[in-house]
């Protein structure tokens, strides 16, 4: 997430408006969705999905921690006599400092999403950031192209374009390399510019 935020700021700083274009052939993880916040155009198809932006603290999902606490609170309200047992369980399984830190990380991530959206033409940065972060329960809840249009607007999200089809062809090529690499226990990597040489290791 940190890298995506820095890349987003650099792209917006050094490239003019109407020049930052992303194509999503399949699934963009949280960092990819964060980058989409600076996009002038997002090209998607029927197989394209964005992940909700869910911050993590030391590889633990903040949303998962929050949901666990809310679920335990519900159980205690249903079974008040078990409150002591749940309190003991919480004290043994959850570091109390994580609760406060998780809130701070959540707020900081929300501010960063809003910051990237500030330079865009989207209406209501806070509303858009909330939709990307808080409207989904977990990483399994994906944002399809229809929802992406509702969040970013029809002027930003373009469906089934030449750009999308081109990105899908590139995806299929890389996916084929990955398949054969896995079959023969090789890893395919490509680092650098278009002039760089792809490697199997």
> DSSP string of 7-58?
HHHHHHHHS-TT--EEEESSEE-HHHHHHHTT-SEEEE-TT-EE-----EET
100 vs 57 pLDDT, higher one: 100
Q: What is the pLDDT of residue 22?
A: 97
pLDDT grade for 104, boundaries at 50, 70 and 90: confident
Mean pLDDT confidence for 105-114:
85
Q: What is the pLDDT of residue 121?
A: 55
Give the pair of three-digit tokens for residue 135: 């409207």
* Rg, Å, the chain Cα set: 20
pLDDT digits (tens, 9 = 90+) for 20-50: 999 999 999 989 999 999 999 999 999 999 9
How far is it, in rounded angstroms, from Cα 14 to Cα 97? 39
Show the CA angle centred on residue 195, arms to residues 194 and 196, nearest 5°. Answer: 90
Q: Is the pLDDT of residue 85 over 70?
A: yes
Q: What is the pLDDT of residue 199?
A: 64
- Which domains does the chain possess? 2-59+99-160 (3.90.226.10), 166-201 (no CATH)
Q: What is the pLDDT of residue 195?
A: 73
Q: What is the pLDDT of residue 58?
A: 47
pLDDT digits (tens, 9 = 90+) for 115-174: 888 866 555 578 888 888 876 655 557 899 999 999 999 999 999 999 999 999 999 998
């Amino acid at each position: 997430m940190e890298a995506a935020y820095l890349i987003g700021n650099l792209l917006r700083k050094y490239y003019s408006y109407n020049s930052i274009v992303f194509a999503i052939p399949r699934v963009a993880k949280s960092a990819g969705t964060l980058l989409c916040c600076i996009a002038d155009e997002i090209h998607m198809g029927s197989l394209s999905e964005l992940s909700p932006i869910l911050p993590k603290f030391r590889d633990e999902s903040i949303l998962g921690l929050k949901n666990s606490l809310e679920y335990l609170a519900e159980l205690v309200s249903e079974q008040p006599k078990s409150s002591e047992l749940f309190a003991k369980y919480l004290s043994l399984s959850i570091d109390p400092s994580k609760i406060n830190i998780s809130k701070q990380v959540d707020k900081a991530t929300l501010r960063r999403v809003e910051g990237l959206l500030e330079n865009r033409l989207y209406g209501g940065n806070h509303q858009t950031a909330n939709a990307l972060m808080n409207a989904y329960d977990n990483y399994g809840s994906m944002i399809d192209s229809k929802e992406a249009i509702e969040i970013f607007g029809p002027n930003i999200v373009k469906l089934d374009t030449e750009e999308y089809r081109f990105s899908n062809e590139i995806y299929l090529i890389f996916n084929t390399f990955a398949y054969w690499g896995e079959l023969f226990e090789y890893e395919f990597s490509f680092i650098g510019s278009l002039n760089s040489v792809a490697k199997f290791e």
